Chains A and B, each alone.
Chain A
């Protein structure tokens, strides 16, 4: 079966760094996406990785290891507005997205 695992909830302090992990087992692999979703709102695209390594985009970076079926999203210099759920999704061999349940990130002052 296809499976995406992420921690349910994480807490971090404003100004700090947090790493959200995602492990996956899917039928084929055409890349991994990270989305941010504030409560009751639409998910918005953060990053896409298809090759191994780290992709940096401002305060956010995403890492992929295809051999380990593993990715992480790294958020630096945390701000209160980063409080949201972070969704990991893998595009399978049929170009369909398989979604994790999301990680709720709570930022404390």
Chain B
């Protein structure tokens, strides 16, 4: 079955530690996205990638980093520089970048920093 997988579902980390969230898709989509979702707020774009080996900052990129070495994979690292990392993180993909496309979402990772 085609889709987007994110792992793990729940993640706990101590303050000051970097953590990497996994996102894999087998939909052959060009574009991939990382969003953060907090209670009472809309999804906010962290980073997006339109093609392999290229990515752009979204609205809230500070304290995060990404890589896009393969079309299928777009991991997100939450660094110790992110001041408030506890949130629900959603990865998404769409068929073509730079056009009108529905975005398909993974199941999300809930990160809690203790």
Residues on A lying within 8 angstroms of B by beta carbon are 4, 8, 30-31, 33, 40-45, 48, 50, 87, 89, 91, 95-102
Number of B residues whose C-beta is below 8 Å from A?
A: 23
Contact among A4, A40, A45, A50 for B42, CB-based, below 8 A: A4
A-B contact count (CB 8 A): 50
The residue among B40, B42, B98, B104 with the most chain A CB atoms within 10 A of its own CB is B42
Q: Give the interface segment out of B13-21, B63-71, B72-80, B106-114.
A: B106-114
Query: Are A102 and B42 in touch, CB under 8 angstroms?
Result: yes
Q: Which residues of B contact A (CB under 8 A)?
A: 4, 40-45, 48, 58, 88, 90, 97-100, 102-108, 110
Instruction: For residue B11, give the distance in angstroms from its CB to the closest CB of chain A.
Output: 14
- CB pair B105–A43 under 8 Å, yes or no, is yes
A45 touches B98 (CB 8 A): no
Which one of A41, A95, A102 has the highest number of Cβ atoms from chain B below 10 Å of its Cβ? Answer: A95
